[in-house]
Amino acid sequence: MTPKILILGAGYGGLTTALRLQKELHYNEADITLVNKHDYHYITTHLHQPAAGTVDPRRIKIDLDELIDKDRINFIKAEVVAIDIQNERKVTLDNGQGLTYDILVIALGSEVETFGIEGLKEHAFTIRSINSVQLIREHIEYMFAKYKNEPGHPEYLTFIVGGAGFTGIEFVGELADRIPELCEQFEVNPKKVRIINIEAAPSALPGFDPQLVDYAIEVLKNKGVEFKINTPIKACTEEGVTLADGEEIKAGTVVWTGGVRGNKLIEMLGIETMRARIKVDEFLRAPGYQDVFIIGDNSIVFNEEGRPYPPTAQIAVQQGEHLAKQITSYVRNGKMDLKPFKFNLRGTVASLGKGEAIGKVGNRKMTGYTALIMKQLIDNRYLYSIGGLPLVIKKGKLLG
């Protein structure tokens, strides 16, 4: 009997799993189904660019038709609304369709974590999807046009970015690069524009090398970015934000990048969760289940010191690669030849806008153009892994 493999989500982890199985398994060796709410994959690590308006959103989109062999993978464009792993072993989609499985891979991605900050969901933008970043870009341009007609409102040109993790830092770098173009287009004095990055933690880029963090802050300050570190946001309103110390900052735009949690469906599986993420076993399985694997932002994997790895694209890709090998073994041998998952940190790089980045590979620290080249190499490696040389040629330079 042909085993049914069901993969939920075409982000980094889910797509990598599907494409590796497509490559490794022969035709009709397995019945593989991939479910995703969009018919495209997008490069999440570059969403900050179209959000700021420095890159067209279409550049970071990749149609799944370009990657998937429909003779080997059944793709369904739909949203998952329910997952029953306890009784019926069935996944229900928003089109009413019900899917059963022999092996289930859950890779549904993340949602915004607001940490209970009042008004954040209602009044802040988030960098989460192609649609959300297009909205941010249009709103930023609208604020410049609105200020041009109402110059008595300086708050229209105040842009607050909540969170100074990787997304927040990369976004303010891109936005700072975009501001001169917008000022020229709308005939606005650049000195009227404020970009304020607010972070609750004692440092920007928490957990990153302090020397590189200092470099990044200096580069961004020279671009005009203001920082408020160790300063939690208490509330967000239509008029701006209120900080924990009582200070109120009026702003026409608030973009929240301060955290993510797993998909809400994870909390409905009947398994203990932490911020909608599940602590998987060493083989990436849901606790108590032999045939349910959870990867990417929906999973928690601990390092040798007992600390959870941050949910990054890099770990999701490696989980997908590892899991595909396990599943291939199952299909070929009729049983799982399980091997523990070991994450190999290949380096971390953050862009700071045009011509600037910081990075660390092993013990080597990089800044400026050298780090930027490393980031492009990492991007191109991923593109090659999912689409080969043609995809690198088509998209590689566009992500630089």
Cite the active site residues. Answer: 170
Separation of alpha carbons 341 and 294, rounded Å? 12
Separation of alpha carbons 340 and 343, rounded Å? 10
Check: CB of residue 163 under 8 Å from CB of residue 48: no
Q: What are phi and psi of 186, to 5 degrees?
A: -105, 5
Q: Which of 124, 159, 179, 150 is nearest to 251 (CA)?
A: 159
Which residues are CB-neighbours of 375 under 8 A, at least 6 positions away? 349, 350, 351, 357, 359
Q: How many CB atoms lie within 10 A of CB 128?
A: 19
Separation of alpha carbons 285 and 263, rounded Å? 17
Q: Measure CA 248 to chain center.
A: 30
Q: Measure CA 332 to chain center.
A: 33
Q: Which of 195, 194, 180, 183 is nearest to 148 (CA)?
A: 183
